[in-house]
Structure 1
């Protein structure tokens, strides 16, 4: 039971922060002492430069289960392996130090201490932590944390932390603006405008985190003019068949959820069993992976109605790989991995982001401070087109509306995840709705 609770909480936390705009905070610079032990360029006796040391913190053995959080790590490591094979950064190899925090706050603090204080990494890259309890320590040490996944609110709270989706908030020690984060309605606008959806079902557990996320989805759907059908199932003994039958009866065009991967598979099976066909069963970037056939093996109709949305270019579409050099590089660099996912691509992009920052410092000294200056310029970053432009700005007030683009793909058994238009063209001016993390 405890394991399933943690699964649901994790899935909901990831979804919650993936839908919203990235928010954050900034502590005053006077709060941080200057450090003399920042890594720099140090020649070895042979005359070659020492490797650049980076750290990756991953909740690889968390209660959520194996492989849930390992995608960003695997993508980043694949990028650094390829980079080192090509000579590294200005002749310097990248020495990747990984740490598994076990999905706990205590373990996370231990990883931060090991990587930041003992290994003295120049940066953290592609963090994917269930409980990023050590985030404030990373910030106080002025260690740039580049391209992490916003599973919690850390990237919306502290300076020197740069999540993969950006931030517009002050980042002054509190999440967002006065403790509130803001998210747009672009996903719901897309399915209304492009797919003609008008009635949406939102399925959740009777569990606090799941119910809270379902309320946020419902709020966004209503703001976009949907009729919303809410379906809540018991967490311990979920009756997905009853929920599927009701959403069919209510005429739902599209289904959103606040449940874990196992629950999604069971919901899809129930929808197939009762004949509930919909325009789209919508999932998120965390489930945008190559294991769909296995995960949804008992629900072929629902499986082929799966759609995923995110902020990065589809890793799987053969047409995208043919047309886009950066996607070709990713696919070639990860071809030996057992499975593939959008989170791997975003980990790859995070490693590229660090590499570009380090190269900007290579002719002087690759230090934490120099890498952080590159990250903190406010210029949008796209990782050679793998990401929608990632921005880090500090707006004194939250925006009421924002033009937001999204990447959309649909699962097809014959073709995998097939892109639905180009992510730079699927853009909407949408309201920004507040919520508390």
Structure 2
């Protein structure tokens, strides 16, 4: 009888001790996560032809510093390990392997570029390591059936191309379109969206030239002169920041004055339009999904004030006229939201599960009406945009938010 009471008492003590700290029993980690730390990898072109985008990685690092200063995520500090690949796919592969196999990160976040992410996508999926919120709008990075571990973040280039096509058909139906595009999947995605939006008949009738460039090219001067010679009066500038600025500047220098459309990846005032020349950039049409800090529309906006305060405290050397610093801020906020939702189950599978379970996430520096939504069947978090026109000082938004993969309002 006494023995039975002893067993019962021991069982009761064990049950109480287990119940005293239920979180301990529920904690579950994969490589890269502990009670005190979450290791996040990142790959950016801090050097090379796309180094203007380095501002994104530096902003993200500053935001994670802010998060850590405020106590981290669920009590864990973020260890953000960011490497340079110079926008060279072989270097991207090298850095990804280092992050996964040597640094042992939980995931790779916001690696930048289409060919660079392509170079590591198979590896990341074989290793079952999240390649999360890649910094490219190429449609292929939402292929959840074949690449479960890879997810995009920004609107796709095809969506954006269709939006421009809709505007051209409505407002410039007799236009002769000349196109400059980066010779990779990102450029071809923009082209497909534009072609699909115009339709086969209009594509054949309206497009007079499609000229590629390589990221290793010194300039795109030759292409701009050729587009003028071909008689284009509508210019679709699908170029990364360095080349986009060159194209705008060169067009002004040779007296070519088409209606210009600038891809959203390069519509930063500070990083592109100022270097190109504000006068030469005036009138350029683009699309936006995040708030431009140079737009006085937002001068009293609480979210912009919060972002500006963050920049002043944690990234004072950062460029507050560039949308790239807004983009970095928003993507880092999204990453933190996913980690919050993970709770104490910081496994790679749960990271992807939570990334695919973002419901009407509203972030203050997104344009009003634009929300982040994902599901196990939808790996495209942001799918809405709004047209804008640069007035020589900032981009002026017009029209309504356009949403969906088919560019319907």
Same-fold call, TM > 0.5? yes
Give the C-alpha shift of residue 296 in structure 1. Answer: 1.4
Partner residue of 1:10?
A: none
Does the aligned pair in 2 maintain the 1:218–1:228 contact within 8 Å? no
Distance 1:346 1:205 in 2: 22
Match of 1:389 among 355, 360, 371: 371
Distance 1:36 1:338 in 2: 35
Are 2:332 and 1:332 equivalent residues in the alignment? no
Are 2:116 and 1:134 equivalent residues in the alignment? no
Partner residue of 1:268?
A: 248
Higher relative contact order structure (alpha carbons within 8 Å, sequence separation ≥ 6): 1
Are 2:346 and 1:360 equivalent residues in the alignment? no
Does the aligned pair in 1 maintain the 2:362–2:371 contact within 8 Å? yes
Partner residue of 2:389?
A: 410
Distance 1:378 1:315 in 2: 26
Partner residue of 2:77?
A: 93
Any idea what SS the aligned residue of 1:427 has? strand
- Deviation string, structure 1 residues 237-296 (Cα, Å, up to 9, x no partner): 71634633653xx6x3x4213456555445434543565444444332234241345421
Partner residue of 1:302?
A: 280
Partner residue of 2:11?
A: none
Q: Structure 1, unaligned stretches of length 5 or more? A: 1-34, 43-49, 168-180, 397-402, 433-437
Distance 1:221 1:408 in 2: 16
Compute the TM-score of the two structures, normalised by the length of structure 1. Answer: 0.67
Partner residue of 2:108?
A: 124
Partner residue of 1:143?
A: 129
Relative distance call for 1:103 and 1:278 in structure 2 (3 A) is closer
Relative distance call for 1:305 and 1:246 in structure 2 (3 A) is farther
Relative distance call for 1:155 and 1:115 in structure 2 (3 A) is farther
- Deviation string, structure 1 residues 359-392 (Cα, Å, up to 9, x no partner): 1233x34333332221123645443462743444
Are 2:33 and 1:51 equivalent residues in the alignment? no
Compute the TM-score of the two structures, normalised by the length of structure 2. Answer: 0.71
Give the C-alpha shift of residue 308 in structure 1. Answer: 2.4
Give the C-alpha shift of residue 303 in structure 1. Answer: 1.1
Give the C-alpha shift of residue 80 in structure 1. Answer: 1.0
Match of 2:237 among 243, 257, 261: 257
Distance 1:365 1:100 in 2: 30
Any idea what SS the aligned residue of 2:339 has? helix
Any idea what SS the aligned residue of 1:97 has? strand
Distance 1:231 1:267 in 2: 15
Aligned-pair RMSD on alpha carbons?
A: 3.9
Q: Rg larger in 1 or in 2?
A: 2
Give the C-alpha shift of residue 164 in structure 1. Answer: 0.8
Q: Structure 2, unaligned stretches of length 5 or more? A: 1-27
Relative distance call for 1:91 and 1:296 in structure 2 (3 A) is same
Partner residue of 1:16?
A: none
Any idea what SS the aligned residue of 1:162 has? coil
1:59-98 correspondence to structure 2 within 5 Å:
59-62=45-48, 64-65=49-50, 67-98=51-82
Any idea what SS the aligned residue of 1:134 has? helix
Any idea what SS the aligned residue of 1:161 has? coil
- Deviation string, structure 1 residues 182-209 (Cα, Å, up to 9, x no partner): 886122223554xx23214223379788
Partner residue of 2:177?
A: 201
Distance 1:142 1:332 in 2: 38
Relative distance call for 1:352 and 1:138 in structure 2 (3 A) is same
Aligned pair count? 357
Distance 1:205 1:385 in 2: 28
Partner residue of 1:341?
A: 322
